[in-house]
Amino acid sequence: MASRGSQTVSFLLFLSHMLLPQVAKCRAGISAVIVFGDSSVDAGNNNWYPTPLRSNFEPYGRDFFGGKPTGRFCNGRVGPDFISEALGLKPAVPAYLDPGYSIADFATGVNFASAGTGFDNATSDVLNVIPLWKEIENFKEYQQRLRAYLGEAKANRVLTEALYIVSLGTNDFLENYYTLPDRQSQYTVTEYGDFLLEQTQNFITEIYSLGVRKISLTSLPPMGCLPLERTVDLFQNFDCNEEYNRVAAEFNVKLKGLGIYLNQNLPGMKIYFSDLYYLFLQMIQEPATFGEMT
């Protein structure tokens, strides 16, 4: 992301494919926005973790409030920030590990995401980032702090009525499966996708047991079109890697099916599948449709 124009596109992207379905169905009941995931939603937790994968330097953050880098991997706000504001909550969801925030700041939204992580805990080892299991542990700690701050009944109500955004999975394929030998020696790419779906189900089942009831489950993007993937493959003339895109599209079909299955089998659960794949692809293939992007 490089300008206010591209930030506007980001807003429209999340508004049309993540926000509207949730707002239409449950806006009145949203008490907080709580985030699990990777760099697509990280608000700066990696700044406070011993990893080289950080974005706490310019030009990151130049369009954020104050024009300073926050650890978000973009020029300004990330999707959950826009969603929070559109729901009538705070305009930016703070990173849980940032010592500049207190439990009072987290009462209407908190972000546990860590750039570079994945559903596969081995993925977090690649760049020593926060594994998903640790994001869950931080969530449990947050619950205890919230109950101490608000009282048991009110805190439980906030936790149950919150919208939980889950956005990760790309690193599992690009930074783990396609880069390192271990998972390739264990699984075909289809089998690895199925393994990730098992991890996703385990993750959702665990946070469900902790009181989570509303989830925005985000699809993989067309990961073969990500800038790094187009740049490193010099023999493809900077074109998208179609194999990676195919893998992402096939995984998304199964991920959507998993959401439907869990909605049917976890009483009270509402999983909203946020399919960003084809909109991202359209933005890449037909940029003029979305206005000026620099």
Containing H/E element for 110? strand 109-111
What residues contact 189, with CB distance under 8 A and at least 6 apart?
A: 173, 177, 247
CB atoms within 10 A of CB 58: 11
**Domain coverage including residue 276:** 4-290
- Which one, of 85, 24, 18, lies nearest residue 274 by Cα? 18
pLDDT for residue 6 is more than 50: no
Q: What share of the chain is helix, strand, coil (3-state, %, to 5)?
A: 55, 10, 35
Residue type, 122: A
Structure confidence at residue 15 (pLDDT) = 47
Q: Distance between CA 37 and CA 129 in Å, rounded?
A: 11
**R_g over Cα of the chain:** 18
**84 vs 19, residue with greater confidence:** 84
Please indicate whether residue 240 or residue 119 has the higher confidence score (pLDDT). Answer: 119
Q: Provide the 10 A C-beta neighbour count for residue 122.
A: 14
Average pLDDT over residues 235-255: 90
Name which of 20, 108, 105, 35 is nearest 72 in CA terms: 35
Is the per-residue pLDDT at 126 higher than 50?
yes
Q: Looking at the chain, how many residues does it have?
A: 294
Per-residue pLDDT at 17 exceeds 70: no
Are 228 and 240 in contact, with CB atoms under 8 Å apart? no
Phi, psi at 2, each rounded to 5°? -140, -5
Total domain count, the chain: 1
Model confidence over 184-201: pLDDT tens digits? Answer: 999 999 999 999 999 999
pLDDT in tens, 259-290: 999 999 999 999 999 999 988 888 888 877 76
Q: What is the reported pLDDT for 37? A: 97
Q: Which of the four pLDDT bands, split at 50, 70 and 90, describes residue 72?
A: very high
Q: Return the CATH number at 17.
A: 3.40.50
Could you tell me the pLDDT band of residue 12, with boundaries at 50, 70 and 90?
very low
Q: Are 172 and 123 in contact (CB under 8 A)?
A: yes
